[in-house]
Amino acid sequence: MKKSVLYIKMEEHIMVEKMSPVSVNPVLRHELEQIDTLDGKWGTRLDKENVGVAEKWYENGHTFIFKSTVPGCLQAEDFGPSEKTYIGEVSEYLRVFKSDYRGTLWYSKSFRAEAVKEGERLWLNFGGISPTAEVWLNGEFLGENNNPFISFGFDVTSLVKTGDNMIVVRVSEKDRLFAMGYNCLGAWSGIYRGVELKRVKKATISELLIKPYNETGKIDVSFTALSDTSQKLAIAIKEYATGKIVFEKIYDVEGNSENNFDIILAEHKSWSPDTPFLYCMEAVLKDGDTICDACIKRFGFIDISTKCRQFIINNEPYYMRGSGDFATSPNTVSPGTDINEWRRNLKNLRDYGYNFVRCQSYMPVPEYFEAADEVGLIVQSELGALGAISDK
């Protein structure tokens, strides 16, 4: 799954927007990554009358006395008024959640940062916020994101202070339509995926896309680094289960441009629901002898096709036994981000004999796909229903 992102770079008070992927809460962390998680308890304040911007709440995050859990959503918390939501399927107003607040809410989080060394960059990355988010750091506006399912990040090098810092996030109902949810699912809102502070050197990995071909063992790799200069990219491919190295090479890559190269694994193992064999690709970005950034991504080789009325997996007929997933997360309301919970849930499906699941009109979170790859479950994801909650 391609994890898109909105990067907004702050340079001399000029915001430059660039669409590019970022990874938050990946299943695997490279030992060279420098990440501080900002998950946990955040200050929260409701803003039903939408007066927070005019009253400059973004300068007073320390006054948000209620506490909410991030990642999560407000409707899963035990505070906030209970309201009824219009359910289009039955044309009635019904109570969906224990706390069914509809309106603007604010989050705040204080954190301490070490001094930024020469040549270092700091990125503030959000895994997902719904419906629309506006972000401030130390009273300075960073930007807005109205794509609930797209991760986004900010280069905050020039704004982070040595010592105490304050993040403030305003979550509003603006562009609720883009949440693309069925009416019966309710209108949840909040910082529902993780928040991280990432420290890199002069260059950072912006995009690493992997496209494997089972028939030939070919792997198409697309890589982009945010940098004004050229670097070296060290690639290593390992068997995920054993750690055995099956490929190593160093590539020359240009900064701020797409770099494409092919890798051939002449002898490789295939992924299927019955044998979910995975590889992992480790990428280390270097500038001379300096390690700038690193990441790990998993992948597998599989061919899926049809012949007459049969599904074909890796050139063999395969019987699909499927179930439906309707985006219900009773423990979290918003999509859960605990990969261990998805491992348990999806393994239960496999234990009952299912090898396929259709995610009805929604795109699961990355943790869902990662767990499915592990347990051997084929996922049919879909676009959401662009006709979200409305009383019109």
User: pTM for the full model?
Assistant: 0.88
């990946």: which residue's tokens?
26
pLDDT tens for the chain, 392 residues long, are: 333 333 333 333 333 334 345 788 888 999 999 999 999 999 999 999 999 999 999 999 999 999 999 999 998 887 777 777 777 667 788 777 877 788 999 999 999 999 999 889 999 999 999 999 999 999 999 999 988 888 999 999 999 999 999 999 999 988 887 776 655 667 889 999 999 999 999 888 888 999 999 999 999 999 988 888 889 999 999 999 999 999 999 999 998 889 999 999 989 999 999 999 999 999 999 998 899 999 999 999 999 999 999 999 999 999 999 999 988 788 888 989 999 999 999 999 999 999 999 998 888 999 999 999 999 999 999 877 665 445 54
Supply the CATH number for residue 341's domain.
3.40.50
The two three-digit tokens of residue 338, written as one number = 């605990």
What's the pLDDT at 199?
A: 94
Which pLDDT does position 2 carry in this prediction? Answer: 35
Q: Does residue 74 share a domain with residue 159?
A: yes
161 and 212 in one domain? no
Does 91 lie in the same domain as 52?
A: yes
Burial of 141 (0-12, 13-18, 19+ CB in 10 A): middle
Quick one: 68 and 48 in the same domain?
yes
Of 170, 200, 230, which residue is a domain's last? Answer: 200
Q: How many CB atoms lie within 10 A of CB 237?
A: 20
340: three-class secondary structure by DSSP: helix
Domain co-membership, 213 together with 191: no
Boundary residue ending a domain (200, 227, 249) = 200
Range of the domain at 335: 307-380
Q: Give yes or no for a contact between 203 and 292, defined as CB atoms under 8 angstroms apart.
A: yes
- List CB contacts of 179: < 8 A, sequence separation 6 or more: 130, 131, 148, 187, 384, 388
My answer on whether 63 and 130 are in the same domain is yes
Where on the phi/psi map is residue 368: left (φ > 0), alpha (ψ -120 to 50), or beta? alpha
Task: Classify residue 185 as exposed, middle or buried by CB count within 10 Å of its CB (0-12, 13-18, 19+).
Answer: buried
Q: Are residues 243 and 316 in the same domain?
A: no
Q: Is residue 30 part of a domain?
A: yes
Tell whether 215 and 150 lie within a shared domain: no
Same domain assignment for residues 70 and 9: yes
- Residue 388, in any domain of the structure: no
Residue 220's H or E segment, with its range, is: strand 218-226
Please classify residue 239 by burial: count the beta carbons closer than 10 Å to its beta carbon, then call 0-12 exposed, 13-18 middle and 19+ buried. Answer: middle
Cβ proximity of 327 and 355 under 8 Å = no
Residue 385 lies in a domain: no
- What CATH number corresponds to the domain at position 221? 2.60.40.10
Residue 273 lies in a domain: yes
- Regarding whether 174 and 74 lie in a shared domain, the answer is yes
Among 264, 281, 299, where does a domain finish?
299
Radius of gyration from C-alpha coordinates of the chain: 22
Report the distance separating Cα 189 and Cα 182, nearest Å: 14
Residue 392 included in any domain: no
